[in-house]
Amino acid sequence: MTDFNTLALKPALLASVETLGYGAMTPIQAQSLPAMLEGRDVIAQAQTGSGKTAAFGLSLLQSLSVETIRLQALVLCPTRELADQVSKAIRKLAANIPNVKLLTLCGGMPLGPQLASLTHDPHIVVGTPGRVQEHLKRGSLHGGGIKVLVLDEADRMLDMGFSEAIDDIVGRIAKHHQTLLFSATYPDDIREASRRMQRNPVEIIIEAPVDTKPAIEQQFIDVEPARKLDALAQLLTGERGQHALVFCNMRRDVDAVAEELDRRGFSALALHGDMEQRDRDEVLVQFANRSCAVLIATDVAARGLDITALPLVISYDVAHDPDTHTHRIGRTGRAGQTGLAITLCTPREKPKAENIEQILGRPLPWHPLKVSSPRGKTLNLAPMKTLVIDAGRQDKLRPGDILGALTGDAGLKADDVGKIDVFATRAYVAITRSLANKALERLRAGKIKGRNLRVRALH
Q: In angstroms, rounded to a whole number, what is the distance separating the alpha carbons of residues 302 and 191? A: 25
The dihedrals phi and psi of 429, each to the nearest 5 degrees, come to -135, 135
The SS3 assignment for 48 reads coil
Indicate the DSSP class of residue 263.
Answer: H
Per residue in 34-89, pLDDT (tens digit) is: 999 999 999 998 776 778 999 999 999 999 999 999 999 999 998 887 888 899 99
E strands, 191-311, in order: 202-205, 216-222, 244-247, 268-271, 294-297
pLDDT of the residue at 211: 40
Indicate the DSSP class of residue 208.
Answer: P
Q: Residue 299 half-sphere exposure, CB side, CA atoms within 13 Å?
A: 22
Q: In angstroms, rounded to a whole number, what is the distance separating the alpha carbons of residues 428 and 389? A: 6
User: Shortest CA distance to 426 belongs to which of 459, 393, 451?
Assistant: 393
Q: What is the value of pTM for the model shown? A: 0.62
Element (H, E) at 99: none
E strands, 97-169, in order: 102-105, 124-127, 148-151
pLDDT of the residue at 162: 86
Per residue in 163-214, pLDDT (tens digit) is: 899 999 999 999 999 999 998 877 788 889 999 999 999 999 886 544 444 5
User: Shortest CA distance to 281 belongs to which of 423, 400, 122?
Assistant: 423
Average pLDDT of the residues of the chain:
89
Q: Are the C-beta atoms of residues 241 and 293 closer than 8 Å to each other?
A: yes
Element (H, E) at 148: strand 148-151
Q: Are the C-beta atoms of residues 341 and 329 closer than 8 Å to each other?
A: yes
The SS3 assignment for 350 reads helix
Structural domains for the chain: 4-205 (3.40.50.300), 216-360 (3.40.50.300), 384-457 (3.30.70.330)
Per residue in 260-315, pLDDT (tens digit) is: 999 999 999 999 988 888 898 899 999 989 999 999 999 877 766 667 678 899 99
User: Residue 451 pLDDT more than 60?
Assistant: yes
Q: In angstroms, rounded to a whole number, what is the distance separating the alpha carbons of residues 209 and 247? A: 27
Indicate the DSSP class of residue 242.
Answer: G
